[in-house]
Amino acid sequence: MFRSPRPVSMLGRAPRPLLLGALAVAGLAVLPLAYLVIRALEADPGSLDLVLRPRTAVVAASTVGLALLVGAGTIALGVPLAWLTTRSDLPGRRAWAVLTVVPLAIPSYVTGFAFLATFGPRGALQGLLAPLGVERIPSFGGLFGATLVLVLVSYPDVVLATRAALARTDPAVEDAARLLGDRRSVVFRRITLPILAPAIAAGALLAVLYALSDFGAVSLLQFDSFSRAIYVQYRASFDRSLAAILSLMLVGMTFAVAWGESRVRSRASAFAGTARTSRRPPSTVPLGRWTWPAFAFCVAVVGLALVVPAGTIGWWLIRGIGQGEPVRVVVDAALNSFLAGGGAALTAVMLALPVALLVARYPSPVASFLETAAFTGYALPGIVIALAVVFLSTSAVPVLYQTLVLLVFAYAVRFMPQAIGTVRAAAVSVGPRVEEAGRTLGDGPVRAFVRLTLPLLRPALVAGGALVFLTTVKELPMALLLGPIGFDTLATEIWDAAAEGFYARAAGPAALLLVLSAATVAVLLRNEETTR
């Protein structure tokens, strides 16, 4: 009685234009990947030997190793933080609940840059130690550096997923286990952790997906994972088929992770399905003598993930202003970023609308399939999409190569899933009744949609667009590969300057991105509030 009946296919009732629109969007979304496959198949057999050389195996092993370490690290930080900020009497719990999530929105290359600029060869630390005669400090980077930075920007995924699962779980379940004879610590092991496990796994897999896709941190810290190898191959070689083949290997990994993530996520929601109304709020667990160690743990994590980046950027910003770094550069880059981001947001929302409406209004296997296709970009690393779009445009539409149109298209493919998620949820809650009422009052189907449904969806469209905008502004590899000549964005400015050690120059755009990141987190946390 609590399971919804098997969905009846509503596809036959879907208006033809809506169906065609969704079909076109799904086609656009898979186009880059499809072309990448074609391109890789065209590779001459000789380059296949290149793929099989030991070097490729090393890159693959490095990538997998990085992904595993990041997954483990995010669990180690995320699960305790989620529990501490929801169930314990940690001093300042509410503030920590926000602070521990903020690093989520900081781009990896900003945190990477901050660590380089602090602990790197010509960083702030060395500068401070120089009067003491310290000429060199160990370089920051490689597997350790990349892991640290990626864990620090993605552990909030685990915090958010775990917190959501904790909030969904009826506290009476833990009470029941105690009444059946288990101590609190045993209950945590036998009940709480197993119930949270799928959510924790989903959060960690999200972090792993991020690590696999990441270009900014690994390239700045010179760690050879697939992303960096693809970029180097693309820049250095005439035979770009090899880059295409490497890309496909990476895509194989990201798709596997994304598939695993969706599997565990559905398991997590099945677990949450049993509890319903009339819950008591969970009781707060006193930390006792663990209070201050727990507090120190929070200080350490937030210190590394938030204070180090913000502090470093602030420090170099002040130095940069002292040295007379031109403000114009920042303003130009910001305008370019906003232009690309605005275009991407608008495009993504328009593309998302038919898919979201089809899935919400006319659920059917075909609709789900089209939605899955439209979500392709979710599992495609930016560097891969960029590469595919380069291939696509040079051979099919050379006119568009190195134009803003192409960049905006690539962004829309990559980030459209965010907009679909938001709009679909709203479309489900608005429902078809309002529009039907409009029809009975004399409106045609289009007019009823425009007069009634569209205004009701507006908040979701704006929210989805805002999310795409904020994500796009921070995006690096696509801007790097697809941006028109001389089109520098905040992201590329930071990356260029940081890669060459001009930390002061990178500080201006980085500071601006930090502010935008805070805005992103505000949006995300509001979502967390409303889902409770």
Partner 1 sequence: MSTPAVRLHGLTRRYGSVAAVDELDLEVLPGEMLTVLGPSGCGKTTMLRLIAGLETPDAGVVEIGGRRVAGSGVAVPPERRRVGMVFQDFALFPHLSVHDNVGYGLRRDPDREVRVGELLELIDLADAAGRMPHQLSGGMQQRVALARALAPRPDVVLLDEPFSNLDAALRTQLRADVREILRAAGTAAIFVTHDQDEALTLGDRMAVMVGGRIVQVAPPEVVYGEPASPFVATFVGIANLVPADRRGGRAATRLGVVRVVGPPDARTDGRALAVIRPEHFDVIEAPDGPADTGSWRVLRRRFAGTEILYEVTDSHDQRLWVEAGAGVRRLRVGDSVHLSLRDVETVAFPSGHHADVATTLPAEAPARS
* Residues forming the site for partner 1 (CB under 8 A): 1-3, 170, 172-173, 175-183, 190-191, 194-195, 197, 270-280, 283
CB closer to partner 1, 226 vs 271: 271
Both tokens of residue 146? 């990349």
Strand (E) or helix (H) holding 144: helix 142-168
| Cα torsion through 304, 307, 308, 311, rounded to 10 | 180
Minimum distance, C-beta of residue 191 to partner 1, in the bound complex (Å): 6
d(CA 79, CA 508): 34
Minimum distance, C-beta of residue 200 to partner 1, in the bound complex (Å): 13
CB closer to partner 1, 197 vs 366: 197
User: Please, which residues have CB within 8 angstroms of residue 53's CB and are 6 or more apart in sequence?
Assistant: none
Minimum distance, C-beta of residue 186 to partner 1, in the bound complex (Å): 8
**What length is written for the chain?**
532
CB closer to partner 1, 178 vs 526: 178
**Among 300, 298, 232, 398, which residue's Cα sits nearest to residue 96?**
298
The answer to whether the beta carbons of residues 413 and 29 sit under 8 Å apart is: yes
CB closer to partner 1, 180 vs 335: 180
Minimum distance, C-beta of residue 158 to partner 1, in the bound complex (Å): 19
CB closer to partner 1, 194 vs 252: 194
User: Please, which residues have CB within 8 angstroms of residue 194's CB and are 6 or more apart in sequence?
Assistant: none
Task: Give Cα separations from 86 to 163, 260, 282 (angstroms).
Answer: 7, 27, 9
- Cα diameter, the chain: 84
Minimum distance, C-beta of residue 462 to partner 1, in the bound complex (Å): 35
Minimum distance, C-beta of residue 185 to partner 1, in the bound complex (Å): 11
Minimum distance, C-beta of residue 263 to partner 1, in the bound complex (Å): 15
CB closer to partner 1, 168 vs 505: 168
The answer to whether the beta carbons of residues 106 and 515 sit under 8 Å apart is: no
Minimum distance, C-beta of residue 272 to partner 1, in the bound complex (Å): 7
> Which DSSP state fits 220?
H
CB closer to partner 1, 187 vs 351: 187
Minimum distance, C-beta of residue 82 to partner 1, in the bound complex (Å): 18
CB closer to partner 1, 192 vs 233: 192
CB closer to partner 1, 283 vs 394: 283
d(CA 23, CA 394): 25
| Cα torsion through 218, 119, 77, 477, rounded to 10 | -20
Minimum distance, C-beta of residue 269 to partner 1, in the bound complex (Å): 9
Q: Which amino acid is at 111?
A: T
Partners of residue 88 on adjacent β-strands: 285
Q: What is the DSSP string of 60-125?
A: HHHHHHHHHHHHHHHHHHHHHHHHHHHHB--TTHHHHHHHTTGGGGS-HHHHHHHHHHHHSTTSHH
CB closer to partner 1, 3 vs 53: 3
**Among 416, 417, 445, 452, which residue's Cα sits nearest to residue 431?**
452
